[in-house]
Amino acid sequence: MPVEYVTDSKTQWIADEIAALKEQGLFNTIRTVESAMDAHIVIDGRHVINMCANNYLGLANHPRLKEAAKRAIDQWGIGPGAVRSIAGTMSLHVQLEKRLAEFKHAEAVITFQSGFNANLATIPALVGKGDVIFSDQLNHASIIDGCRLSRATIVAYEHNNVDNLRRKIAETSEYGRRIIITDGVFSMDGDIAPLPELYEVAREHEILLMVDDAHGEGVLGRGGRGIVDHFDLHGKVDIEVGTMSKAFGVVGGIVAGKQVIIDWLRQRGRPFLFSSAMTVPDVAACLEAVDILEQSDELVTRLWSNADFFKQEMKTLGFDIGSSVTPIVPVMLGEAPVAQEFSRKLLEKGVFAMAIGYPTVPKGKARIRVMNSAAHSQNDLEQALAAFESVGKELGVI
Ligand SMILES: Cc1ncc(COP(=O)(O)O)c(C=O)c1O
């Protein structure tokens, strides 16, 4: 049922904007999920295959994580009580940071409530007014917001274009401190930052290098150790941001790097100082996720083999799936209304895969973003492919 808004002279413009979004096919209808987040979920009372969660390893509903969270609640309760710098930090949080540092072969780690907060904490703590940030044009919104909060000058360079970055650095003569910031995996296209080349530029010019590996955490590198491990750049990338909301199946932000930077973030990272920490069940579940990843790379291997199969079959069917080199599959559909209609029809056929349009991706580049998961069975993938084929033919996309 369409909502009838009650507005007045101060709020009518919002209703007008919402009506315009609906007219352009850009209004985001958020589906209600009536089950645990897994390979199969329940939407509107129907069981459907879930092809759009960031639950890469199927850990969001994993029995071991659930048990760990329950055990921790019995021992530690639920909440951290206050911000860590005021009420003290639980040894559980300290343990998670230590385990993550070991897992990632980093000197030290600090955790935040989310990956978004990790960026809002880190960037303004490292650069400010009079400093310069070189930022990939397609960086995630949380990096963009962190850059804006810092009040440093933001110089955007062309996406993944190291020559363009070099030119921008050469053209920028007035600066205090400098930092290069890039996504590790670009979440809308599934391509990867050229981190070894970025490291060379950063090293030559003595500029800090920061990578946000939200979609590489648990996915790239040996046993899911992330993009720094993938390129064997340990100790060379200054700051590696990550999240435990995707492959780890829980929630929480990570910053890994040199001890001096991590200690500084405990003093100056505003979401650390002014917002309470991750809750007990979150931390305990993340610790269990680290255990699982350290014990075996089985889930990571299954994720990649599912993704390879799905991508190959989609190409054979004739879909344009962009230039992804990760388990993210952008199914390019052009205009937003086509993508929305495609998504609706997929759902009718038992496949949940959301359409993504402007402003998350540029206008005219709407898509369905398929997220592969280790939780999918071969049968799930085949059913999803059959649904894509049928809707693709019906809408004249293939
Ligand atoms: C590159 C990047 N950074 C940060 C985030 C935010 O992570 P979180 O959900 O933990 O806040 C995302 C999530 O979409 C992301 O893709």
CA atoms within 13 A on the CB side of 211: 31
Mutate to test the pocket of ligand 1, among 52, 54, 112, 116 (most ligand atoms within 8 A of CB): 116
- Residue 9 annotated to the active site: no
Q: How far is the CA of 70 from the centre of ligand 1 (A)?
A: 26
**Helical (H) or strand (E) element with 241:** strand 239-243
Give the β-pairing of 366-371 and 46-50.
unpaired
What pLDDT, in 10s, does the model give residues 330-350?
A: 999 999 999 999 999 999 999
Cβ < 6 Å from ligand 1: which residues?
Answer: 114-116, 140, 142, 183, 187, 212, 214-215, 243, 245, 253
Q: Read out DSSP for 157-221?
A: E-TT-HHHHHHHHHH----SSEEEEEESB-TTT--B--HHHHHHHHHHHT-EEEEE-TTTTTTSS
Sites in the chain below the pLDDT cut of 50: none
Determine the pLDDT at residue 1. 63
**Helical (H) or strand (E) element with 155:** strand 153-157
Q: How far is the CA of 29 from the centre of ligand 1 (A)?
A: 20
Catalytic, out of 93, 140, 215, 365: 215
Q: How far is the CA of 214 from the centre of ligand 1 (A)?
A: 5
Q: How far is the CA of 326 from the centre of ligand 1 (A)?
A: 16
Catalytic, out of 135, 142, 150, 187: 187
What pLDDT, in 10s, does the model give residues 263-316?
A: 999 999 999 999 999 999 999 999 999 999 999 999 999 999 999 999 999 999
- Which residue's CA lies nearest to atom 15 of ligand 1? 214
Determine the pLDDT at residue 358. 87
Q: What whole-number distance in Å separates Cα of residue 275 and Cα of residue 111?
A: 12
Indicate which atom in ligand 1 lies nearest the CA of residue 186: 1
Q: What whole-number distance in Å separates Cα of residue 122 and Cα of residue 271?
A: 9
What pLDDT, in 10s, does the model give residues 12-28?
A: 999 999 999 998 878 88
385, 313 Cβ separation under 8 angstroms = yes
Q: Residue 335, by phi and psi: left (phi above 0), alpha (psi -120 to 50) or beta?
A: beta
Mutate to test the pocket of ligand 1, among 192, 215, 243 (most ligand atoms within 8 A of CB): 243
Neighbours of 87 (CB within 10 A): 12
* Among 145, 211, 215, 140, CA closest to 179: 211
55, 37 Cβ separation under 8 angstroms = yes
- The first and second tokens of residue 251, run together, are 């929630």
Q: How far is the CA of 347 from the centre of ligand 1 (A)?
A: 25
Q: What whole-number distance in Å separates Cα of residue 212 and Cα of residue 27?
A: 28
Indicate which atom in ligand 1 lies nearest the CA of residue 143: 3
Q: What whole-number distance in Å separates Cα of residue 99 and Cα of residue 174?
A: 41
**Helical (H) or strand (E) element with 332:** strand 328-334
> In residues, how long is the chain?
398
Write down the number of H helices and E strands in the chain.
15, 13
Indicate which atom in ligand 1 lies nearest the CA of residue 117: 11
CA angle, 195 then 183 then 376, to 5°: 105
96, 281 Cβ separation under 8 angstroms = no
- Residue 187 annotated to the active site: yes
The answer for residues whose C-beta is within 8 angstroms of residue 213's C-beta and 6 or more apart is: 184, 185, 220, 226, 227, 228, 240, 241, 242
Q: What whole-number distance in Å separates Cα of residue 62 and Cα of residue 312?
A: 28
Q: How far is the CA of 316 from the centre of ligand 1 (A)?
A: 31
Determine the pLDDT at residue 27. 85
Q: What whole-number distance in Å separates Cα of residue 216 and Cα of residue 228?
A: 9
- The first and second tokens of residue 34, run together, are 């009536």
